[in-house]
Amino acid sequence: MKFTAPVAKNETYEVTIQDLTYEGMGVAKIEDFPIFIENALVGEKVITLITKVKKNFAFGRVDKVLVESSDRVHGIEKAYTQTGITPLQHLKYPAQLKFKQHQVQVDFDKLKIPAEVNETIGMEDPFHYRNKAQIPVRNVNGLLSTGFYKKHSHEMIPLEDFKIQDERIDKAVLIVRDILRKFQLEAYDERNHTGVIRNIMVRVGKYSGEMMIVLVTRTKKLPSVEEITRQINEQIPGLTSLIQNINPEKTNVVLGKKNVLLSGVDRIHDQLMGLDFEISANSFYQVNPVQTEKLYQLAIDKAELTKDDVVIDAYSGIGTISLSVANSVKQVYGVEVVEDAVKDAETNAKINKIKNVKFVVNKAEEQMEKWQADGLKPDVVIVDPPRKGLAESLIKSVADMNPKRVVYVSCNPATLARDVKLFGDFGYHLNQPVQPVDQFPQTVHVESVSVLEKA
Ligand SMILES: C[S@@+](CC[C@H](N)C(=O)[O-])C[C@H]1O[C@@H](n2cnc3c(N)ncnc32)[C@H](O)[C@@H]1O
């Protein structure tokens, strides 16, 4: 029998929004058939115009709001609802924090894992927090422009205020954009893989004020490179680092492998947890320094470290977590796959005169297996993986090493819940509520800390 959806394209329906998806879309149901509606909040009653009907769900847009949520923020310009940079900007901040707590709970509930989730720890000023930006450079109406992509498209909307970036970064991007315009540089054209300038990446040390600018080019040759370098330095006095990164590939990955130093030094400094850190262009560094300190402090407290402990820090980046715990324990081992990040981590240990850490370049899953085979017996394992979470083999190796405790710092609650379930198969369970920390206000991303122990 042919299934017919209870809604049809281009028709309108009156619905009440019942939930938000992990992407922040409103969910309404007609005869149990879900409709995903952009820019609609829980509790709102709207007339929706159906834009697409699939087998199991439909998409709609808001045609008219009949009853508005008291959590709605007014006055958001169209450019910000069209792009994906601040997908929760229409939701008041306390409600954003509740949404994130709920998201974590939903992911655990889906897998039937008993978990309590605390209220999300938020920020006092949830704007202009990012210390790093990677801004695409494209041709818009014949003019080299900086901005962000329209959702689900490659069309760029020019923007000058990115709302969530350190304002020093917004200013620098405009200065560089204007200089590139002046020298008539060609913006990258994704479709034809032509043009020169792909992205402008800017990183700023929140406390040090040091700034790194990376001009990502498709071509090895950067026309007018000397003049551009001179003018950028003239207009951004005290710029610490100006780098050309060459990325000739047809890819969405921003940075290529080759860096050319145009002026200054190839790294910047910043302080975190009372320590000094050097950060180079290709290394990962947490983007929200204010919340990172809260996150790390929580991870450290929850690790309940003692002076005799041996700790593994898996996915150690430039060593921020390893070095933050080193003074409280006997020995730390860090593993990280990006070679430059490990070099940074080693330099950072030296700068901070920390001797009881050892960093290894390897895939965490392979190194963990090796450490386990070598008989390493960590007391505490801290993991801080990328969004895809942990490899199953890593979980097995960790369990085989039998640590007292695993502290899991996660940037994706779906993979966190999946991994917690796998840890459960080896006897490790959550021993306290999961604690979300809002590292990415105005966006749908959720960071959290969990602790697993053997029953
Ligand atoms: C979320 S970051 C955490 C970094 C660090 N703990 C911090 O807080 O700054 C994840 C790190 O894992 C690294 N990475 C990604 N896949 C990896 C793998 N298979 N093995 C080891 N490191 C990996 C990335 O390069 C990145 O530095």
What are the extents of the domains in the chain? 12-72, 132-272, 288-454
Distances from the Cα of 90 to the Cα of 38, 72, 234, angstroms: 11, 6, 39
pLDDT at 317 over 70: yes
For range 309-319, the mean pLDDT: 97
State whether residue 346 is helix, strand or coil.
helix
Rounded to the nearest angstrom, the distance between the alpha carbon of 315 and the centre of ligand 1 is 4
pLDDT of 329 higher than 90? yes
C-alpha distances in Å from residue 431, one per residue of 94, 274, 364, 420: 27, 29, 24, 11
48-52, 61-65, 283-287, 406-410: least confidently modelled range: 283-287
Q: Which of 272, 277, 284, 365 to mutate to test the pocket of ligand 1 (most atoms within 8 A of CB)?
A: 284
pLDDT at residue 3 is higher than 80: no
The third-level CATH classification (topology) of the domain covering 288-454 is Rossmann fold (3.40.50)
Q: Which two tokens stand for residue 179?
A: 């200089």
Which of 81-85, 396-400, 414-418 is the least confident region? 81-85
Identified catalytic residue from 201, 411, 446, 451: 411
Please tell me whether residue 157 adopts helix, strand or coil conformation.
strand
How far apart (Å, rounded) are the C-alpha atoms in residues 450 and 428?
12
Query: Distance (Å, rounded) from C-alpha 335 to C-alpha 341?
Result: 10
The helix (H) or strand (E) run that includes residue 292 is helix 289-303
Nearest Cα to 295, choosing from 99, 445, 128, 454?
Answer: 445
Atom number in ligand 1 closest to CA 296? 8
Q: Give the per-residue pLDDT at 406.
A: 98
94 residue type, one letter:
P
pLDDT of residue 25: 94
Is there a common fold for 12-72 and 288-454? no
Whose CA is closest to atom 27 on ligand 1?
Answer: 317
Rounded Cα distance, 154 and 111, in Å: 35
Nearest residue (by CA) to ligand 1, atom 26, is: 317
Interval between CA 140 and ligand 1 midpoint (Å): 35
- Chain position carrying tokens 């054209």: 189
399 is catalytic: no
Q: Name the DSSP class of 237.
A: T
Which residue's alpha carbon is nearest to atom 13 within ligand 1?
Answer: 315
Q: What is the mean pLDDT of the chain?
A: 96
User: Each residue of 335-362: pLDDT tens digit?
Assistant: 999 999 999 999 999 999 999 999 999 9
- Predicted local distance difference test score (pLDDT) of residue 1: 60
Q: Of ligand 1's atoms, which has the minimum distance to the CA of residue 317? A: 27
- Token representation of residue 431: 């021993």
Q: Which residues contact 247 (CB under 8 A, 6 or more apart)?
A: 198, 216, 217, 218, 253, 254, 255, 256
Reply yes or no on whether the pLDDT at 455 is more than 80. no
Work out the percent of the chain whose per-residue pLDDT is above 90: 93
* CATH code for residues 12-72: 2.40.50.140
CA of 430 to the centre of ligand 1 (A): 23
Q: Which amino acid is at 33?
A: F
Q: Strand ranges (DSSP E) for 104-257?
A: 132-140, 143-149, 156-158, 197-204, 211-217, 241-246
Indicate the residue type of 178: D
Q: Name the CA radius of gyration of the chain, rounded.
A: 24
- Cα dihedral 320, 173, 199, 79, rounded to 10, equals 100
Tokens found for residue 283: 């290394």
With a Cβ cut-off of 6 Å, ligand 1 is lined by 284-286, 315-317, 320-321, 335-338, 341, 363-364, 384-386, 411
For residues 126-143, average pLDDT:
96
Q: Which residues contact 18 (CB under 8 A, 6 or more apart)?
A: 27, 28, 29, 42
**Ligand 1: centre distance to CA 335 (Å):** 8
Looking at 304-405, list the stretches that DSSP marks H as alpha helix, in order from N- to C-terminal side.
320-326, 339-351, 364-374, 392-401
- Cα 363 to middle of ligand 1, angstroms: 9
Question: Domain 132-272, CATH 3.90.850.10 — does that match?
Answer: no
* pLDDT digits 0-9 by tens, 86-127: 999 999 999 999 999 999 999 999 999 999 999 999 999 999
Q: Are 123 and 134 in contact (CB under 8 A)?
A: no
Mean per-residue pLDDT for 207-226?
97
Q: Which of 208, 329, 210, 324 lies closest to 275 in space, CA to CA?
A: 324
> Are the beta carbons of 90 and 39 closer than 8 angstroms?
yes
CA-nearest residue, atom 15 of ligand 1: 386
